[in-house]
Amino acid sequence: MIKMKHIAITLSIAAVAVVLYGVTTMRNSAHEGKNVTWNSFDAGMQQASNQNKKVLIDVYTDWCTWCKKMDSDVYSDASVADYLKKNFVTIRLNAESNESVHYKGQSYTASGLAQAFGVNGYPTTIFLKEDGNPITSLPGYVDAGRFSNILSYIADNRYVNTKFEDYLKEKGVN
């Protein structure tokens, strides 16, 4: 009798594992190809120059919980990822790395460049014009909805003549 209960429990656990695996596989395949493609700094800057696109730099650290939340909640959002792919070159910059990077004819470490951009918290999102000149930086975590509005505000050059609050009012966003 005990042996039969043990077999039934084992089969139940196996069935649950198979169902969970299937759900996880379906969830992952539904988002396949929707994630952001990240470039190294130098390669991304070259790509931005070649494609005449604005640049989004995600400045992060490996230990940063909010950076991981940006990855899981914002950069994995299909609409955010699609918009970024069409309108920006995306770069990841580890703020604690000694990797050599080049910006505006100067050599930096990744951490030195993050400091040069004035980054003092993580995550920080930096936006650059097509020529590599800074537009603005956005410190901290931002949810996907607000982030989408920021992306369109920057991509459409509305930042040049319109305050962000006014831009949101025009779009009917509170």
Q: Please state, rounded to an integer, the average pLDDT across all residues of the chain.
A: 86
Q: Are 82 and 147 contacting, i.e. CB atoms less than 8 angstroms apart?
A: no
- Range 82-93 average pLDDT: 98
SS3 track for the chain:
CHHHHHHHHHHHHHHHHHHHHHHHHHHHHHCCCCCCCCECHHHHHHHHHHHCCEEEEEEECCCCHHHHHHHHHHHCCHHHHHHHHHHEEEEEEECCCCCEEEECCEEEEHHHHHHHCCCCCCCEEEEECCCCCEEEEEECCCCHHHHHHHHHHHHCCHHHCCCHHHHHHHHCCC
pLDDT classification of 30: cutoffs 50, 70, 90: very low
Residue 7's pLDDT is what?
45
pLDDT classification of 174: cutoffs 50, 70, 90: confident
- CA 9, CA 171: separation in Å to the nearest integer? 56
pTM for the model stands at 0.80
**Residues 105-161: tens digit of each pLDDT:** 999 999 999 999 999 999 999 999 999 999 999 999 999 999 999 999 999 999 999
Residue 99's pLDDT is what?
97
- Range 25-45 average pLDDT: 67
pLDDT classification of 90: cutoffs 50, 70, 90: very high
Q: What percent of the chain has pLDDT over 90?
A: 79
Does the pLDDT value for residue 4 go beyond 80? no
